[in-house]
Amino acid sequence: MNRLALATALALSAMATAAPAAEISTHVLDLARGIGGRDVPVVLLKKADDGRWVEAGRARTDENGRVRSFGTTNFDPGTYKLQFDMTRYPSPAATPFFPEIDLVFTVADKAGHYHVPVVVSPFGYSTYRGN
């Protein structure tokens, strides 16, 4: 190995690498309409040590009903809440039975991916840990 290659390899190995952090994503699936729920506001909150909920990110579902990122991937282990504002879904004139859906879950693996979708219908909803 020549000196330049060796120096480059040493420099790269000395650089700090980011510690792994959990990723959180979600998806609104409209069971009654058979489509993803688009344009739904979603707030991600983390439970603080004192029990208060602190905002960790916010987004709106895309055309397919997905939130792929909340703008950061720095989610440490802890208790999180996804808060879905359903007041204007599926249209601005909607009067949903469940105007807000809160999903509380635990992030245990700092390097894990947590996909927490919600399946909605006019008078019910369900959730699960996806992949």
pLDDT in tens, the chain (131 residues): 566 554 444 444 444 445 556 799 999 999 999 999 999 999 999 999 999 999 999 999 999 999 999 987 668 999 999 999 999 999 999 999 999 999 999 999 988 899 999 999 999 999 999 98
Q: Dihedral, CA atoms, 58, 95, 115, 23, nearest 10 degrees?
A: 0
- Is CATH 1.10.260.40 what the domain over 22-127 is classified as, yes or no? no
- Write down how long the chain is: 131
Q: What is the pLDDT of residue 11?
A: 46
Q: What is the pLDDT of residue 3?
A: 60
Give this prediction's pTM. Answer: 0.83
* Rounded CA separation 22/109 (Å): 7
Q: What is the pLDDT of residue 55?
A: 95
Sheet holding 100-107, edge to edge: 53-60, 41-47, 78-85, 100-107
